[in-house]
Amino acid sequence: MQLDDQKKRLLAIGGGVVTFLLVLFFIIRAIFGRGGEEAIPSDIQCSKNGAIATVTWKSKSSDKGLIKYGVQTSGEMPFLDEEQKDPEKVNGGLYAHTVNLESLLTNSSYIVGISGFDEKTVICQDNVAAGKGGSSQTNPITSVPTKAPITPLPSPVVSSPTPTIVIDSSDSSLLPLVKATSYFNDNPTKTLLDCVKHFSNMSDDSGNSYFGLAHVCSAAWKQVNTSN
């Protein structure tokens, strides 16, 4: 009977040790990841905005990942957070991992790493996307000075020369002064305009229209009205 009791105690102790080792194994796996080549992270990114941040990376592992993080000035990563959703399969046999962080200190930078790969860390800053090997600085947008509108210079005013009227003598003839003088002698109350209108509808013996009506009518009017 004593031997059976001793065996039972040994079996109980052995079972307890095995159970402890299994539990310890799963705890270590949960904290430090699967390890191995499949879980090696790449393209680690962190984008922080105030009190929240998003950490992303890629690996060949489809298991949910665990990250470690802490305030950069402390130089430590005492906090842990795990993926809430299963990683999404992407091209090249890789899986995209995402962890959302909350309740962070605003205006503070954090150091973030993938659990089990502490040598692969990034700096997470407000409004700065951090990439593998360090934070990637974004260049501020430099405002381009607005040029003052260029006022066009006024175009120089070019005076057009008075066109010279060339009259073909084959189709017209100069109004004879004697005809215009006779018109005013016969019509003393008529004006220069009346004279021009009168001879504009007339032609010479060859059927040619008269030209120089205003000049000739003016000379005839002067001759008739200033000769007395």
> How far is residue 11's CA from residue 210's CA, in Å, rounded to a whole number?
146
pLDDT confidence of residue 153: 57
**pLDDT band, residue 221 (cuts 50/70/90):** confident
> How far is residue 122's CA from residue 56's CA, in Å, rounded to a whole number?
11
Q: What is the mean predicted confidence (pLDDT) over 49-78?
A: 93
Asked whether the beta carbons of 123 and 130 are under 8 A apart, the reply is yes
**pLDDT band, residue 139 (cuts 50/70/90):** very low
**pLDDT band, residue 218 (cuts 50/70/90):** confident
**pLDDT band, residue 143 (cuts 50/70/90):** very low
Phi, psi of 69 (to 5 degrees): -155, 160
pLDDT confidence of residue 151: 57
Q: Which residues pair with 129 in a beta bridge?
A: 47
Q: How much is the mean pLDDT over the chain? A: 77
Q: pTM surpassing 0.75?
A: no
Amino acid 27 reads I
The answer to whether residue 40 scores a pLDDT higher than 80 is yes
Listed range (49-63, 132-146, 157-171) with the worst mean pLDDT: 132-146
Task: Give the domains, in start order, of the chain with CATH numbers.
Answer: 42-135 (2.60.40.10), 172-226 (no CATH)
The answer to whether residue 157 scores a pLDDT higher than 60 is no
- Out of 4-18, 147-161, 162-176, give the one with best mean pLDDT: 4-18
